Structure 1
Amino acid sequence: MQQQIYSNMAGSVWKITVKVGDVIKVGQEVVILESMKMEIPILSEYEGRVKTILIQETDFVNDGDILLELE
């Protein structure tokens, strides 16, 4: 079953901490956003293998944008 990880706020993608093929666990940090000079980690709500990364570092994302897809 494919799961998607969404941004929970608007900000710039400062760092992507996983790569395609990585197996991640619930609560694992997958992306760090920068907003108002603060670094905000995005944590996975699911476990699975990273299938697709839909963003790149320095991209601007909005609340609700899909960041990653898991399988």
Structure 2
Amino acid sequence: MSQVMATMAGNVWKILVNAGEQVDEGQDVVILESMKMEIPIAAEEAGKVKEIKVQEGDFVNEGDVIIELEQEET
């Protein structure tokens, strides 16, 4: 399992994926809003969205887990 974490503090502006959805490495999964800027957060690894830990409008700190991904068994 891997985790997508916030790269900076801000508000969750938009969640771009749903639980159970397959995501690719480098795919944007969440957009944070901080200092009137939109900051896309991308998955560092491919996998299936296991759990979304935040809701739109939530405040997150740098390093907070936003999404948990399950890797495909090979």
TM range (shorter): over 0.9
> Aligned residues: percent identity?
59
Q: How does 1:10-29 map to 2 (within 5 A)?
A: 10-29=9-28
- Measured after TM superposition, the shift of residue 60 of structure 1 is 0.2
In the superposition, the TM-score normalised over structure 1's length comes to 0.97
Q: Find the structure with the greater CA-based Rg.
A: 2
Q: How does 1:23-42 map to 2 (within 5 A)?
A: 23-42=22-41
Q: Are 2:52 and 1:59 equivalent residues in the alignment?
A: no
How many residue pairs get aligned? The number is 70
Q: Report runs of 4+ in structure 1 exceeding 3 Å deviation.
A: none
* Superposed CA RMSD: 0.4
Query: Which ranges of structure 1 fall in alignment gaps of 5 or more residues?
Result: none
Query: Which ranges of structure 2 fall in alignment gaps of 5 or more residues?
Result: none
Deviations 1:1-60 (A, max 9, x none): x11110010000000000001100011000000001110000110100000000000000
